[in-house]
Structure 1
């Protein structure tokens, strides 16, 4: 495919840099810096400067270390949202974790 090994390495570096940039932009989009979370019995709302998400927490939500990866089923589309434990106070994080566990358990019980 390539006649020169240096050209192949340069091509790989450029492609990897582009892929890393795209992944970094996606992660920044789902990991907001600031915002307000509103938890209601069957509704989750997040409002930030650039992102507004509303819907239900689904069973695809997960816990990884000190963060919660929320999968929100909106009215017309699905969203991922990452909330870090060090980004909110301990009581708010516990409430969010409890709501996520409740959503996961209710979805599993309904099957």
Structure 2
């Protein structure tokens, strides 16, 4: 956003237009990445050593990695998939209280289990 504001102070109209276009494309790219990591709807299935998430457009299956974090009222999961790794952000207000507590426990278990095995 700061780059977009600063580009308006350039002396050339062509440079201003170029900066606005580049910032718009970069913003759309980042927005699509955020939407891919933070789905609105879906089903989380927790099994002992397996995490699955399924929605209309996204299916993720794998293990919860030690890179996962619990930040405020959201869980940032780094899923090690069989062929690909994914980031997935689950908000507390997006699921019911019991499901969120189970997800937090599974994440803490994955983080502390790997730390204990070192």
* TM-score above 0.5: yes
Of residues 43, 52, 60, the one that matches 2:59 is 52
Q: 1:104 aligns with which of 94, 107, 111?
A: 111
Distance between the aligned counterparts of 2:116 and 2:79, measured in 1? 19
Q: Which residue of 2 aligns with 1:68?
A: 75
1:38, 1:90 → 2: CA distance?
15
1:21 Cα deviation from its structure 2 partner: 0.1
1:3-14, aligned counterparts within 5 Å? 4-14=11-21
Q: Please, what TM-score do these two structures have when normalized by structure 1?
A: 0.92
Give the structure 2 partner of residue 36 of structure 1.
43
CA distance in 2 between partners of 1:66 and 1:16 (Å): 30
1:24 equivalent in structure 2: 31
The DSSP-based 3-state class of the residue aligned with 1:16 is helix
Q: Please report the TM-score for the alignment, with normalisation by the length of structure 2.
A: 0.87
Tell me the number of residue pairs that the alignment of Structure 1 and Structure 2 aligns.
109
Can you give the 5+ residue segments of structure 2 that lack an aligned partner in the other structure? Answer: 1-10
The answer for unaligned runs of 5 or more in structure 1 is none
Partner of 2:86, secondary structure, is: strand
> Partners of 1:107 and 1:98 in 2: how far apart?
14
